[in-house]
Amino acid sequence: MQSDPKKLVGKNRNLVHSELLKVISHIQREQGEWVLHTVMVEGCDVPFRFKRKDNYQSLKGARVNMTYYSEQEIVAGMTFEMMKVVRIKKG
């Protein structure tokens, strides 16, 4: 079932939907039974992260539509901003 990004953003004001973002880096690494994906997009220095049960096709160089929200993660006592992706689709 595909979710409509407009409906998602309408239900949660913290969500942002962006279209046709160009992926410049896509890293996949195992984290327990999940695969953690980190995507960097052109013009933004904050990583976008999402989890999947399996590896995903490489998105490097692709254009994607993403729905996401800002989140902070503390690593070694330092706070880092990241974007938590709730929906990603090739554009």
| Tens digits of residue pLDDT in 5-27 | 666 666 677 899 999 999 999 99
The predicted model gives 58-82 an average pLDDT of: 94
Q: If you average pLDDT over every residue of the chain, what do you get? A: 90
Asked if 51 contacts 36 with a C-beta cutoff of 8 angstroms, the reply is yes
Task: Show the domain range for 84.
Answer: 5-90
pLDDT reading at 46 higher than 70: yes
Q: CA 88, CA 62: separation in Å to the nearest integer?
A: 12
Report how many domains make up the chain: 1
* pLDDT at position 5: 63
What CATH number does residue 39 fall under?
2.40.50.460
The predicted model gives 49-73 an average pLDDT of: 93
Q: CA 57, CA 3: separation in Å to the nearest integer?
A: 20
Whole-model pTM: value is 0.83
